[in-house]
Structure 1
Amino acid sequence: MLHLPARFAAIIVAFAPLFRHRTWRHAEVLLVGAILAPGKRTVTSILRICGLSRERHFVNYHRVLSRARWSGQAGARLLLGLLIHAFVPAGPVILGLDDTIERRRGKRIAAKGIYRDPVRSSDAHFVKASGLRWLSLMLLAPIPWAARTWALPFLTALAPSERSCCERGQRHKTLTDWARQMVLQVRRWLPERELVLVTDMGFAALELLAALSRRSVICVTRLRLDAALYEPAPRRRPGTAGRPRTKGTRLPKLSEVLTRTSTRWRRVTVPGWYGEGDRLIEFCSATAVWYHSGKPVVPIRWVLVRDPLGRFSPQALLCTDPTRAPLRIIGWFILRWQIEVTFQEARAHLGVETQRQWSDRAVARTTPCLFGLFSMVTLLAGQLHHQTRTAVWTDSWYRKSHPTFADTLAAVRQAIWRETGLLTSRRRHKTPKPSQALQRCLVYALCHAV
């Protein structure tokens, strides 16, 4: 069986208390194999890459996901603690939240539903997709060796479809319900840290924003151009009868502010605009109260952004902390693009959507583990030497200055393979002969690379 290098032990052993002793031995094999396995991340492919293709009790490894008693929520808390200690020891903790669809079919996949495919659909064309909807909470942290911010998943929850909940007699929870529970759970884990949540317009709901604001969570998201904005309610005079006012005078819509000639725009250059480098933009900002009949009242700062060259449509942002500077709000929001990058990297390099579990417990555990593997690889890479983790694969037709996640994954894999003795030798200019089990691992890795 393959083993992890000693420098990785401190990170890996932190998760041992989640499992019983026998289960932990199997879980550790699954972790190492999931990092090394090419292509599909099934339990069988993990056993093959670890040299356990002739293991007679292979069912014990399946049971780690389908039957063993361990808490994914406790694992998420441990993972978040390691990430914050390594990458965000001080300052605000910036969280990114978004949902994604895992395309799965099968009669035994009970929680699947029919959703709008966000990749293939457009404003004029609607494409359906059958699968599971996952809501992932990620830590937006700067990675020193990558010279950019990565979205590191640590808590991922399955949001069953409404049809599945009706068939089981359960109350259906919307995405905003799941989002509120997940973010408030992180608030309980980090009571002393400043939390900033960055989301897309799908989570710009007054109930969600009000619930998080009461727990001192700053929310940054998109705002509709036709949202009903008001001035704050005037001070109540003593002796006034009736209920106190919740809002003041109605303010112009942001779509009107956008076309007014009297609007004062400020032109700035924003670095790192959606991974494209510096971008020249214009913005204006003010404070207001967002109100809708029958819903909570939320004080916000809105920021209207437009491109003087017309390369993107004007968009409005909101922040539930009216005291924040507009440039800080814009800088927070453009980090949200890293969430989409993580979803793509997890599918391309970690085998998301290739697993084949069908039991409810295994389905609910496997995908969060694969997303969490993205963060685990990043943590393990932080234990490598600077020269090793900053090495990039370049060609004459493709050059890059900083490593991507593919390079980071390759560096971690190299460290694990080096532990087997394949890449090192005690005698100079002599290559050791690998064992038969290791030869089978290498053959499987080379011949099943896709």
Structure 2
Amino acid sequence: MWQASAEKVCSRSSCSERFHAHLLAQLVCPGRHTLTSLITTGGRQFGDWTADYALYAKQRADPNVLYSQVRHEIEAMNPPSQPLVVALDDTILRKTGKKIPGSAYRKDPLGPPFNINLVWAQRMIQYSAAVPGPNGEARMIPIAFQDASTPRKPRKHAGEEEVAAYRETMRQRNLNALAIEKLDALQKERTVAGQQPPPLHVVVDGSYTNRKVLRKKSSETVVIGRIRKDAHLSAKPDGQKPHGRKRIYGEDLPTPEQVRTDENIPWKDVEATVGGKRHKLRVKTLGPLRWRAAGEMDLRLDIIAPVAYMQRPNGKRLYRQPGYLICTDPDLPLALLLQEYIWRWDIEVNHRDEKTILGVGQAQVRNANSVESVPAAAVAAYAMLHVAAMKAYGWNGKPNTIPPAKWRNSKKKKRASTQDLVNELRRELWSDSINPKHLTDFMNRGTTGTKSVKSETDLCSAILASTA
């Protein structure tokens, strides 16, 4: 799979082999994931490195081809009638260089809620597709990693043409505009001549549930997103007057928070899988209705009651915040809608694994093309790793060559983690090289049936030999 995908990305054999080595090195590299570390991991640190940097700087490798292959594999694993559930979310890659293209001051998502912190970072948008498993679970695998950087703001005394060009570029580089453009391209790519692909369901958070996304999305795309608790909703108009302008909105409806607290609207019990277990959630639904951000589109409001939890056994019972969801398909089954939105959390797991285990964003590159393609290639390697693991072990399968640590509870662990797959890949690639038979000079085999003894060095003879 690795070699075939690399050959599709690069036209020349030398380029494809180099890119193939980079993809493997992105997964097994033990230190910081810079380009020099990838070269060293591949054992090519004593050769010329310019071709490795030119691989990305001169756009000789296109990670989008890898993502297209990953998406085909995901749709092949899903049932034919299964909608393609895609979660999208933006993330930042922290940088230190002030002259890195696309870097700017961004809001720190890890900052405290009472104080907004700013960090120098690069902005990206990730799209992950769901692979449903048993018992209603799903695993999100990235199918796109898009650069969402913005241009530098002109200086104070810049000309009008420069300022106008900056504002136009800012409108085009808006997160919502980039998301809609990518989703439309994804839908066109999925459409085969003469065949209609399964529906596309997009689950997003509140930052993408707005006018730009809802009104500009394609008619085949279903959006499930969060909404404010004080949103102004309206009913569908009962009828049209014989004269005058066409009515789009009817009478005003209660806000989502008022619907939640209204005792006259009953709660419904809906089962969903959360954290590998089946839970019964209470949900209120209201629809079809209209929202001014969506125009003439019929929507449905779904409210999830706060879920109780305890931080310790026999502790105080606490409650999470309620969830307010909007769906652009009023006829979508409530259990399916709720389960698909719960799957969205796995994209946050993707962000964590990509940054902590694969070191996405650590490459010290300054070329504009490299700044975009190097992180995208690393995330593509992450996606291909999980696709290969599912095809090799199954959805719930885990590599059992390396025994788990003693503190690991194998019964509670439902699936293999990214670190488990990376460790297994390292074992397959390096086990022969670090076999004890190759390290005989460091072992004392004089006595049998005993533990290995460290070989003691004669320091005096070492000093005399160095001064001779």
Quickly name the TM-score band, shorter chain normalised.
0.7 to 0.9
Deviation at 1:32, TM superposition (A): 2.0
Q: Is the 8 A contact 1:287 1:302 kept in 2?
A: yes
Q: Is the 8 A contact 1:222 1:317 kept in 2?
A: yes
The aligned counterpart of 2:206 is 201
Between the aligned partners of 1:142 and 1:413, the Cα distance in structure 2 is 28
The aligned counterpart of 2:359 is 351
Deviation at 1:131, TM superposition (A): 0.4
Deviation at 1:369, TM superposition (A): 1.3
TM-score (norm 2): 0.80
Partner residue of 2:404 out of 389, 394, 400: 394
Q: Alpha carbons of 1:162 and 1:108: their partners in 2 closer, same or farther (altered >3 Å)?
A: closer
Between the aligned partners of 1:221 and 1:335, the Cα distance in structure 2 is 13
Q: Structure 2: which 5+ residue stretches go unaligned?
A: 155-161, 192-196, 309-317, 441-468
Between the aligned partners of 1:162 and 1:54, the Cα distance in structure 2 is 38
Q: Alpha carbons of 1:148 and 1:281: their partners in 2 closer, same or farther (altered >3 Å)?
A: closer
Radius of gyration: which is bigger? 2
The aligned counterpart of 1:437 is none
Q: Structure 1: which 5+ residue stretches go unaligned?
A: 1-9, 425-429, 435-450
Between the aligned partners of 2:248 and 2:262, the Cα distance in structure 1 is 28
Structure 1 residue 97 and structure 2 residue 91: aligned? Answer: no
Deviation at 1:51, TM superposition (A): 1.4
Between the aligned partners of 1:64 and 1:270, the Cα distance in structure 2 is 46
Q: How many residues are paired up?
A: 409
- Alignment root-mean-square deviation, CA: 2.7
Q: Alpha carbons of 1:89 and 1:40: their partners in 2 closer, same or farther (altered >3 Å)?
A: farther
Partner residue of 1:320 out of 307, 322, 328: 328
Q: Is the 8 A contact 1:227 1:254 kept in 2?
A: yes
The aligned counterpart of 1:129 is 119
Q: Alpha carbons of 1:201 and 1:391: their partners in 2 closer, same or farther (altered >3 Å)?
A: farther
Q: Alpha carbons of 1:193 and 1:268: their partners in 2 closer, same or farther (altered >3 Å)?
A: closer
Q: Is the 8 A contact 2:102 2:149 kept in 1?
A: yes
Aligned ranges for residues 8-87 of structure 1 at < 5 Å?
A: 10-21=1-12, 22-55=14-47, 57-87=48-78
The aligned counterpart of 1:360 is 368
Between the aligned partners of 1:107 and 1:128, the Cα distance in structure 2 is 14
Q: Alpha carbons of 1:389 and 1:229: their partners in 2 closer, same or farther (altered >3 Å)?
A: same
The SS at the match of 2:152 is helix
Q: Is the 8 A contact 2:106 2:118 kept in 1?
A: yes
Partner amino acid, structure 2, of 1:241: H
The aligned counterpart of 2:262 is 260
Deviation at 1:46, TM superposition (A): 1.3
Between the aligned partners of 1:244 and 1:390, the Cα distance in structure 2 is 65
Deviation at 1:52, TM superposition (A): 1.2
The aligned counterpart of 1:446 is none
Q: Alpha carbons of 1:120 and 1:324: their partners in 2 closer, same or farther (altered >3 Å)?
A: same
The SS at the match of 1:14 is helix
Partner amino acid, structure 2, of 1:203: Y
The SS at the match of 2:55 is helix
Between the aligned partners of 2:43 and 2:286, the Cα distance in structure 1 is 62
The SS at the match of 2:344 is helix
The SS at the match of 1:271 is strand
RCO comparison, higher one (Cα < 8 Å, 6+): 1
Deviation at 1:370, TM superposition (A): 1.4
Between the aligned partners of 1:311 and 1:12, the Cα distance in structure 2 is 50
